[in-house]
Amino acid sequence: MLESLGSLTGSPWIYAVVALSVLLDVFLPVLPSGVLVITAATAAAAGSTTATVAGAAGKVAQVPQEVPSLILLMLCAFSASVLGDLVAFRLGRRGGDRLGRAIARSRRLTTAQERLGSALSGGGGILVVIARFAPAGRSVVSLGAGAAHRKVKEFLPWSALAAVAWTGYSAGLGYFGAQWVGSSWVGAALSVLALFAAGSVAAFVIRRPGSGRGPATA
């Protein structure tokens, strides 16, 4: 994985690619935004490194190799996550009756919307955070919150918390995984598996009756 993306992670374009992927995966959940964050964070864990290149007359030289800034990478992912949620939220609000009918035809979407409404109104919007890790959960929650005409002030804080949790978890997997296992495809693969495992657990929690209906908070 690191070999195939080595040139990208060593370029300033990595920030734009990560931000765009995170922004759009609320509409296209198949985009590998989490994998990109993990890969870039794995590269960031290497710090300032050098690459060995062959020069003229067969001479070997050590050339400095740029690596991403972990802080900047996380800021890009966080900002894109919140912005994508808000765009989907607004589209859900403007979808009106058409989106409402589409949600009504799906038991999964209807159930998620009902749970979300109860969770947000009761101050228990932890469902928004959990759904951020589940496959397509971010899409269901953001669009569902908009279609249910929830207030932005109810949704936005939980969206931001979800972005912090998801970004921190994904970047942490890549960075600390590289520290413990090494900056290799093995460490990156283990980190990606841990991300998918979190998604599976989140999907299971969301499907449970009454999920996200914790006690009200101030």
The pTM of this model reads 0.76
215 lies in some domain: no
Average pLDDT estimate for 82-101: 81
Q: How far apart are CA 136 and CA 88, in angstroms?
A: 12
Are 159 and 82 in contact by the 8 Å Cβ rule? The answer is yes
- Establish if 164 belongs to a structural domain: yes
Specify the range with the lowest mean pLDDT, choosing from 148-152, 178-182, 200-204.
178-182
Q: With contact defined as beta carbons under 8 Å apart, do 91 and 143 qualify?
A: yes
Q: The domain containing residue 105 runs over which residues?
A: 6-207
The total domain count for the chain is 1
Within a domain: 113: yes
217 within some domain: no
- The pLDDT tens digits for 105-147 are 666 666 666 666 555 555 557 888 988 998 888 888 888 788 7
Query: What is the arithmetic mean of pLDDT over 7-13?
Result: 70
Q: Rounded to an integer, what distance in angstroms lies between the CA atom of residue 36 and that of residue 183?
A: 15
